[in-house]
Structure 1
């Protein structure tokens, strides 16, 4: 019972892997909207995307979400996936949203914070990064 009140981590590799994989699955889910013409056309109706580059920005964002999600699930090039995730979600929070990350735009900003955790902590042992790049 004492270990639950300790400052020492409990199952850090397992916990990191589970959160990384679930986060990646969420990003894949949102990124798959790339293949829904109806959903993409709905985004293009937003005022923020009615510029000359609106369609390119919309498709680039969804592509980045999909790629970052796949990379996070696999634990491959995790820090690059974190940069993609943070970039897209910061754009959503501050450009598309109002930057009110403590309330209105909280969900995309939480992805930024999760990306920061994995950028700093790495993907953990349950990852292709660990298999490919960690030489023991």
Structure 2
């Protein structure tokens, strides 16, 4: 469903441009092409695990804009709310913080984690008691 929506926007289909214009954006065709292209590109990169931080940032950027547009409608998606964009922003943030998985293309190319994991690990360890594993 997300791919179909993104493809409609990226193709500059009338439905995609009208939706952006209806949400108050100027230049509906350019906005639709940019948002749709980012959604498709980021989605494909996340699916194969390539350039994970960049793909996560792309997803977070587009969905943050969607979240701000949908916010006046309330939380729940059945009322055209911001629930779905919020979930995608959260997933993007988690993926950018944790890095790619073991089966990703990033891992096979040796690009795993970067500098985020040690900082997150130290933050998570704050205030937790250390247990000794001695028998």
Which TM-score tier does this pair reach, normalised by the shorter chain?
0.5 to 0.7
For 2:111 and 2:17, locate their aligned partners in 1 and report how far apart those are by CA, in whole Å: 43
Note if 1:132 corresponds to 2:125. no
Aligned counterparts, 1:2-17, within 5 A: none
1:123 alignment partner, SS class = coil
1:48 alignment partner, SS class = coil
> TM-score, length-normalised on structure 1?
0.67
Aligned counterparts, 1:116-127, within 5 A: 116-127=93-104
Change (3 A) 1:58 1:37: closer
Change (3 A) 1:79 1:128: same
| Residue in 2 that maps onto 1:17 | none
| Residue in 2 that maps onto 1:61 | 35
2:109 alignment partner, SS class = helix
The 10-residue stretch of structure 1 (112-121 or 54-63) with the greater mean CA deviation from structure 2: 54-63
For 2:38 and 2:90, locate their aligned partners in 1 and report how far apart those are by CA, in whole Å: 17
Structure 1 residue runs without a partner (length 5+): 1-25
> TM-score, length-normalised on structure 2?
0.67
Task: Tell me, yes or no, if the aligned pair for 1:30 and 1:66 is still in contact at 8 Å.
Answer: no
| Residue in 1 that maps onto 2:5 | 30
| Residue in 2 that maps onto 1:12 | none
Note if 1:85 corresponds to 2:59. yes
Q: CA shift at 1:121, angstroms?
A: 1.2
For 2:29 and 2:14, locate their aligned partners in 1 and report how far apart those are by CA, in whole Å: 13
Q: CA shift at 1:47, angstroms?
A: 4.5
For 1:101 and 1:113, locate their aligned partners in 2 and report how far apart those are by CA, in whole Å: 18
- Tell me the C-alpha RMSD between the 2 structures: 2.4
| Residue in 1 that maps onto 2:91 | 114
Change (3 A) 1:101 1:83: farther
Q: Which has the higher helix share?
A: 1
Comparing both chains, which one has the higher relative contact order based on Cα–Cα distances under 8 Å and sequence gaps of 6 or more? Answer: 1
